[in-house]
Structure 1
Amino acid sequence: MFRTALRNVFAHKARLLMTVLAVMLGVAFVSGTLVFTNTISDAFQKSSAKGFGHVDVAVEAKYQQSEGDRVGTTPELTQALLERGARVPGAQSAIGVVRGFTALAGKDGKLIGNGFQSEGGNYWGAKDPRYPLVSGAAPHGAHQVLIDSDTARRAGYKVGDTVRLSVDGPVLTPTVSGIFTTDDGNVAAGGSLALFDTATAQKLFGKPGTYDEIDVAAKAGTSQSELKAQLDRALPKGKTETTTGQQLADDQARTIASSMSGMKQGLLVFAGIALFVGTFIIANTFTMLVAQRTKELALLRAVGASRRQVTRSVLIEAFVVGAVAAVTGLLAGIGIGAGLRSLLGSFGATVPDGPLVITPGTVVAALAVGVLVTMLAAWLPGRRAAKIPPVAAMSSLHAQATAKSLVLRNTLGALFAAAGVAVVLAATTMDTDSAQAPMGLGAVLLIIGVFILTPLLSRPLIAATAPVMRAFGVSGKLARQNSVRNPRRTAATASALMIGLTLITGMTVMAGSLQHAIDKMASSAIRADYVVSMANGNGLSPDVEKELKATGGVTALSPLRTAPSRIGGETEYLTGVNGAAIGELTDLKVKDGSFTVGGAKVIVDDRTAEDRHWTAGSAFTVAYEDGKKQRLTVAGVYQGNEMIRGIMLDNAVLAPHQSDATDMQVMVKTADGASEATKDKLVKALGDNPAIKVQDKKDISNGIAQMFTLMLNMLYGLLAMAVIVAVLGVINTLAMSVFERSQEIGMLRAIGLDRRGIKRMVRLESLVIALFGGVLGIGLGVFFGWAAGELLGAKMATYELVLPWGRMAVFLLLAAVVGVLAALWPARRAARLNMLQAIKSE
């Protein structure tokens, strides 16, 4: 039986090629994902470990928890604490670390990198061990700065150049005194790092005489744990916390591994989808191969082969195919991993140098996935073939499925589908966090149910194409009949395409609906023409409000300023606004009371009011961050959203209680409304500051749209793998169907159907199958998009289902294109059959 199985593999090399390709693509995706994520993770971990090479123990201020009416605070790390740490017996030296946001502009005036990766810090003394100089000298005073070598290379800066940068105030134009190298992860990810001397950094970042961290190096012979113990005894208890350099490196490695884990899981999900789609092709292929060899298998049974031996021969055949596909897929995956790493560089992302990491786990996973998926998919056809009695097989009585098996299949499919719909509908009524698992389970059950029911669904849906098919004459009629001749095979072929289109359509529906909700939220909640904010989302200097107020054409403005407080023993963040102007700048629906902000009167969003059982007229006592208390009254309750929410009070009331006031954003209304000229005027009034963004409502919406578009494009690219596998499935099914129907095609040629008619028949059959899968996929995708939207709608008042009719039409058109392209080779092969030889074939 082993020799028979191997003979069958080598006898049907062409038939099994598509199966090998389908499995190989899935395995390549899995192994490529593992190689890529392991390589990037290893490179970043080694790079970050180098970054902690100068730190034996790091000292940080310990946050003092909120208690009663006292707002939580963080003590300062002073020069005195640094000197005390440097004097412990095991300390060799101590470095004070200052950090902060620093927006560095390129020669084109635009921000280098994105705001969240633009950082600044201090250069310690004449030679800082953290940042080796490549050229130039250490900075001195506010008119000199160091920049990292990667940024210098990308922006074209060199020593002696003048750069434009900003922290949170006006634009500065220091000279580049030197260029340094760094292992900083933000720089590796495409950000920038600018260094000032310590006194300048402290002044710019609003930390005069204090540090964010103190890094202590140990003397020779002193371990990190010993130095940590000495520092714990020497420094104020409860005010500081110490961490060894090794622990910092380990924590950083875990953080990197965790962040890469999310990417790895996401990519593996799509690899799993490709493999899941591939199982249909494998099962289809082996079903047809076994069906074609039914008489051969029956003869084996007649001469003494047992059912187990027949099943085993099919599984051996699957093992050989899976092993070949797994090995080639692993090799292709290693290439994919290396290619993805290079692709990151072409997108501008910088990855630390390091070797390609191919772990034993990657090899085992690739081989196991390829072999197991193939054998599992081939098991059912093999088992089905072994159960056929030899006499029935010889007379082909087994060909048609019994009524009992069809009833069982349809009943099982209906139960799965009903259960899936019920679970999905139940999930839409749950909380967003707790609904994710049930929603996923329901989706899987429904897809399985639809797959099982696809043979039943194929007949009425394909029958609906009859009027169109009549236009193609005999070829169209035959194509429609061939499509429903073997419903199970048609179902398996169409299901592969259905799954890909289900995911693509569902994601497109969700993204389109979310974008519409954001647009509606921005247009309905904000009356202001512009919103001014920091590029990294941090606080703006109050000077920005003053500059804008002095700009001609500005008719109203209000900063939005957040501040911690204690209400009823719980921490609550207040939002300070210009009480006189906020009503003119926003359009928030008032649900109770009036929109009045000023003095002791505040307005509260509906969720906060519901949580605290407040209504218009309710009074409460607030403890500000300076410890002083005040009695406030709720003047009104408004409908909050993702952009504006919280307890709003007048800045005139809040400001006296703040030691370091910053604005999260400033809303601006102008006499001329939103226009490019007005925007340029505001940008110039703020000194063309690279740290500050001036956005109108369209800019805000487009910024969010860019994120959705980027995510969708990535998902489309990943799902393309599943679609490619589905195309292979259609080609495979048609090719083997043509082989099965050789005698029939020969007869059609003999009675007058020309080669063009044969080609048209095969192409139309492929088109019908592809459109059938496309319709099912788009229908399921819309349902899942609606269900997921119901969860989002609970948190976004402006959310409503938006069906992207244009894109869905494109998806259906793509399904048709897939059908036409997939039929090119099988149709050509069918047309070239010799009619006499085909008629004589069995």
Structure 2
Amino acid sequence: MLRVALAGLRAHTARLLLTACAIMVGVSFLAGSLVYGDTARAAFYDDLARSARNVDLVIRPTTGLLDPSVTERVRAVPGVRAVDPRVVGALGVLDAGGRLLTRDGHVGYGLSLPGAPALSRFDVARGRLPAAPGEVALDRKTVEDQKFGINTPLRVLDRQGAPHDLTLVGVLDLGVNRQFNGSAVAALTTGDLTALTGTSRYTEIAVSVAPGTDPERVRAAVPDARVLPAAQVRAELAWRAGKYVDGFLRVLIAFGLVALTVSGFVIYNTFAMLAAQRGRELALLRCVGASRLQVFGAVLTEAAGLGVVASLGGLALSLLVGWGLLVSREFVGARIPAHALVVGGPTVAVAVGFGTLLALAGAVVPAFGASRVPPLTALRHAAALEARGRPRAVRLGVAGTLAAVGAGCGAVGTAGGFGGLPLVLGGAMLVFLGFAAAAPLVVGRLVALVGWVPGRLLGAPVRLAAVNARRNPRRTAATTTALMIGVTLMSLFSVLLATARTQSGVELRENFRVDFRVAPAAPVGAVSERTRVRAVVPREVMTALRTHPEFDVVAPVRTAALGGGRTVWSVAPEGLRGPIRPEVTAGDLGALGPGTVALHRDPGRRLGDQVALGPLGTLTVVALYDDAPVDGGVLVSWDQFDRTYGAGDAHLVLVTATGTPVEARQVLDEVVRAYPLLQVTGEADQAEALAGSLDQLLGIFAALLGMSVLIAVFGIGNTLALSVLERTAESATLRALGLSRRQLRGMLLAEAGLMGAVGAGSGAVFGGAVGWAAALGLINAYGHGSPTVPWGQLALFATVATVAAMTAAVLPARHAARASIVTAVSQP
């Protein structure tokens, strides 16, 4: 029977080709994701390991920073060969236009020069390291992005925000600079670093020791510090490298499993059709003595062989997929260090194992059906051997039960807010399974409905296509369901992201009720609490703004951390008027004063409650508010804030314009130009950034789910190719009765189009409905209004998927049209 199975594979290679392609695509995506993960993890590890080259021990403080005296104690330990005390401080670097360079709210970093060349945490790409005061070396990415030149002036800011001119003498190679968050990084002499950053103590000390040196000697010399061996440092670096990769990798694996699920539908359909078409062959095997178990095993052996071969092809293709994922991450701003592709043993095992198991799982039901073919069936036509499904009543009962339970879960989950989201998605899964169970009974009617108008307009070929698509409901159902999965998920994410865009716009208009915000480009503690920069708005800025008629309200805001994730804020009295005033849901902000507080909406709080708020003491609640232009759950009066924290400069200034925002923005930029630590943001800036992020996210999801749609398209092409072989004589008869080659091709293309339209349309409707329910649950928890359904995007997804399905039918249609009528009619 093994020889029979292998012979079957050879004999039906062409029929299995598209199925193999479907397995290859699914396996390649899953394995490619693992290749991406292994490669990115190795690349980040190598990049981070720059700081640990030739390092045997790392000394770190238990709290705060290390005192310089620690270095001398370590150097005095016998066996210590080299020591590199490392200083890191906040250092603002200005661009050519005089603006502060920041990344995600972080200013730049100033680093000390290496205490020993062998222990340097960076390389010199061009030029040299600073050798005298007034010289600086800057990281390569900042130099390239800002087009700085060697031996040219570079302006930096000290911790008080005062500018200083240095000479750029070298370019540092820090890899992708994940250790410093991609911020500008400068290396300076010890004197300049201390003067500019205000710190001379060390964040860590790297140590190289002679072979055989006992680390306990170093620990004994610095009992007040932590001494980490190189192995522990490498383990920490590996953990950090994985942290940069694992989140996106989990998303990729999830989409890979979706693609493999779609492949399972294609495999099932293929082997079901092959079992029906090979009914005579399988029955003759029974006649010559093969048992049911042997026939069952032969079909599964064919499936296993197909799975292994296709999985190996998918493994080879995964190298291209992994490379593509690495490159694509560059386009979304996630820089990954250059590294050779890494293919680990687990990747090979997962690729071959998943592909083979998937092929076996998809072939089990068809193989079981094939083993039940009676020997006398060998005398019948293969078309009569199609396996029968479950009784109609059973299908409807199962489908109805699953759909009812799923809909109930969705309704309960929608009312449950964010916590009910898993219930909504679980209910959607049950509804989908119910649809899959009822699909053989429903899809035929949907095909007839979709094809009714085209059939009346385009004539007999389209009407014949609708009849052909309905003649085998189980086959059509499996084909359309595979396509439905990908389009459903695309539509789901499309609705969620469209709703997020709309809701964010509403929240932005409600919360950003000022025209502009003036704030430090880097907040307090952006680097660390011990290397802080001056993160306030100078009073001179507010004084200058108030002299311009383009501005109506200029309101300073001060904030402070209360602990427990809460922030207290206060705005000057003029800020509690007009558009800046928070939306009060209970009480009166006019009652704010010493001993009182307004809280962000909290179901557990009532007016008159006494609330203990740390340094503020116990205050009485006089108002509850909802939306406000400042993040912070606790609002106190300006006098109360000054009494508790002392008078000081504002951390934020809210500005409203009297005229057009464009004119006001020009004046505001001119005033702020003299303060490089400050940045101005407006509602348009926030909206543009948000829209760009959401569009990017939608593009990523669409690209990932496109793999599932591609596999489903392979399935449609495979179904039609096998149908063409199965209906050879029938097609020839139609030709003999007057159907032209062009009409025959049109009939097959229309059949693919109808299946694609039903699958894609059902996916768009179902995915849109699930997305609407999930979005409604999130709105109930965090917003107000109603979900947004992007009808244009859903229609686009359905149209593209339908056209792709028709494209997959081009080759089978051409093959059918070219067949000789006489030869085809003579076939059994």
TM-score by length of 2: 0.89
Contact 2:406 2:428 in 1 (8 A): yes
> Counterpart of 1:588?
582
Is 1:561–2:576 an aligned residue pair?
A: no
CA distance in 1, matches of 2:216, 2:174: 26
Is 1:654–2:641 an aligned residue pair?
A: yes
Contact 2:597 2:637 in 1 (8 A): no
Instruction: Map 1:288-299 to 2 at 5 A.
Output: 288-299=273-284
CA distance in 2, matches of 1:750, 1:601: 96
TM-score by length of 1: 0.87
Change (3 A) 1:464 1:173: farther
CA distance in 2, matches of 1:6, 1:189: 56
Change (3 A) 1:195 1:742: same
> Counterpart of 1:115?
104
Contact 2:582 2:629 in 1 (8 A): no
The Cα shift of 1:823 comes to 2.3
> Counterpart of 2:87?
97
> Counterpart of 1:72?
none
CA distance in 1, matches of 2:442, 2:651: 56
Is 1:192–2:207 an aligned residue pair?
A: no
The Cα shift of 1:636 comes to 0.9
Is 1:729–2:720 an aligned residue pair?
A: no
Please tell me the residue identity of whatever aligns with 1:329: G
CA distance in 2, matches of 1:689, 1:827: 70
Q: In structure 2, the residue corresponding to 1:499 is in which secondary structure?
A: helix
CA distance in 2, matches of 1:688, 1:722: 54
CA distance in 2, matches of 1:695, 1:261: 33
Partner deviation per Cα, 1:208-265 (whole Å, 9 max, x = no partner): 3564724253654654455345423xx3xxxx76655543432231132133122221
Contact 2:176 2:182 in 1 (8 A): no
CA distance in 2, matches of 1:759, 1:57: 73
Contact 1:641 1:796 in 2 (8 A): no
> Counterpart of 1:157?
148
Contact 1:145 1:174 in 2 (8 A): yes
Change (3 A) 1:184 1:28: closer
CA distance in 2, matches of 1:460, 1:101: 69
Please tell me the residue identity of whatever aligns with 2:87: V
> Counterpart of 1:610?
603
The Cα shift of 1:120 comes to 0.8
> Counterpart of 2:59?
58
Q: In structure 2, the residue corresponding to 1:7 is in which secondary structure?
A: helix
CA distance in 1, matches of 2:388, 2:115: 88
Return the match for 1:281 from 266, 271, 276: 266
Contact 1:429 1:791 in 2 (8 A): yes
The Cα shift of 1:344 comes to 4.5
The Cα shift of 1:293 comes to 0.6
CA distance in 2, matches of 1:826, 1:790: 44
Instruction: Map 1:502-581 to 2 at 5 A.
Output: 502-535=488-521, 541-544=535-538, 546-551=540-545, 552=548, 553-565=550-562, 572-581=566-575
Structure 1: unaligned runs, 5 residues or longer: 63-75
Instruction: Map 1:400-419 to 2 at 5 A.
Output: 405-419=391-405
Please tell me the residue identity of whatever aligns with 1:472: L
> Counterpart of 1:695?
681
CA distance in 1, matches of 2:321, 2:189: 45
Is 1:8–2:3 an aligned residue pair?
A: no
Q: In structure 2, the residue corresponding to 1:471 is in which secondary structure?
A: helix
Change (3 A) 1:824 1:86: same
The Cα shift of 1:153 comes to 3.7
Q: When the two structures are aligned, how many residues end up with a matched partner?
A: 807
> Counterpart of 2:531?
none
Stretch moving more, 798-807 or 678-687: 678-687
CA distance in 1, matches of 2:59, 2:646: 28
Is 1:28–2:28 an aligned residue pair?
A: yes
CA distance in 2, matches of 1:673, 1:212: 51
The Cα shift of 1:314 comes to 0.9
Change (3 A) 1:245 1:300: closer
Stretch moving more, 325-334 or 576-585: 576-585
The Cα shift of 1:113 comes to 7.7
Q: In structure 1, the residue corresponding to 2:794 is in which secondary structure?
A: helix
Contact 2:465 2:750 in 1 (8 A): yes
Partner deviation per Cα, 1:748-767 (whole Å, 9 max, x = no partner): 11111212221221121111
> Counterpart of 1:262?
247
> Counterpart of 1:135?
127
Stretch moving more, 44-53 or 499-508: 44-53
The Cα shift of 1:193 comes to 1.2
Q: In structure 2, the residue corresponding to 1:635 is in which secondary structure?
A: strand
> Counterpart of 1:48?
48
Is 1:639–2:640 an aligned residue pair?
A: no
Contact 2:51 2:122 in 1 (8 A): no
Structure 2: unaligned runs, 5 residues or longer: 527-533
CA distance in 2, matches of 1:563, 1:345: 37
The Cα shift of 1:440 comes to 4.5
The Cα shift of 1:821 comes to 1.4
Instruction: Map 1:235-254 to 2 at 5 A.
Output: 235=224, 243=228, 246-254=231-239
Instruction: Map 1:355-504 to 2 at 5 A.
Output: 355-392=340-377, 394-395=379-380, 399=385, 405-430=391-416, 432=418, 435=420, 437-465=422-450, 466-504=452-490
CA distance in 2, matches of 1:125, 1:171: 25
CA distance in 2, matches of 1:763, 1:331: 32
Change (3 A) 1:131 1:636: same
> Counterpart of 1:213?
203
Is 1:672–2:664 an aligned residue pair?
A: no
Contact 1:541 1:663 in 2 (8 A): no
Q: In structure 2, the residue corresponding to 1:803 is in which secondary structure?
A: coil
Change (3 A) 1:351 1:774: closer
The Cα shift of 1:562 comes to 2.9
Contact 2:85 2:202 in 1 (8 A): no
Please tell me the residue identity of whatever aligns with 2:168: V
The Cα shift of 1:491 comes to 0.9
Contact 2:74 2:221 in 1 (8 A): no
Please tell me the residue identity of whatever aligns with 2:508: A
The Cα shift of 1:674 comes to 1.6
Return the match for 2:697 from 683, 691, 711: 711
Please tell me the residue identity of whatever aligns with 2:582: L
CA distance in 2, matches of 1:336, 1:717: 12
Contact 2:567 2:632 in 1 (8 A): no
CA distance in 1, matches of 2:638, 2:202: 29
> Counterpart of 2:529?
none
Q: In structure 2, the residue corresponding to 1:610 is in which secondary structure?
A: coil
Contact 1:562 1:664 in 2 (8 A): yes
The Cα shift of 1:59 comes to 2.8
Instruction: Map 1:689-838 to 2 at 5 A.
Output: 692-798=678-784, 800-838=786-824
CA distance in 2, matches of 1:572, 1:584: 26
The Cα shift of 1:427 comes to 3.2
Contact 2:554 2:656 in 1 (8 A): yes
Please tell me the residue identity of whatever aligns with 1:381: P
Stretch moving more, 719-728 or 96-105: 96-105
Kindly report the root-mean-square deviation, in angstroms, between the aligned alpha carbons of the 2 structures.
3.3
Partner deviation per Cα, 1:399-437 (whole Å, 9 max, x = no partner): 4665853333333333333333333333334463x5455
Identity, in percent, stands at: 27
CA distance in 2, matches of 1:771, 1:546: 65
Contact 1:762 1:827 in 2 (8 A): yes
Partner deviation per Cα, 1:125-149 (whole Å, 9 max, x = no partner): 88773345452442766x5432023
Q: In structure 1, the residue corresponding to 2:537 is in which secondary structure?
A: helix
CA distance in 1, matches of 2:91, 2:717: 56
Stretch moving more, 172-181 or 275-284: 172-181
Please tell me the residue identity of whatever aligns with 2:149: K
Q: In structure 2, the residue corresponding to 1:510 is in which secondary structure?
A: helix
CA distance in 1, matches of 2:358, 2:647: 61
CA distance in 2, matches of 1:642, 1:356: 48
The Cα shift of 1:785 comes to 0.8
Stretch moving more, 500-509 or 184-193: 184-193
The Cα shift of 1:735 comes to 1.4
Please tell me the residue identity of whatever aligns with 1:563: A
Q: In structure 2, the residue corresponding to 1:561 is in which secondary structure?
A: strand
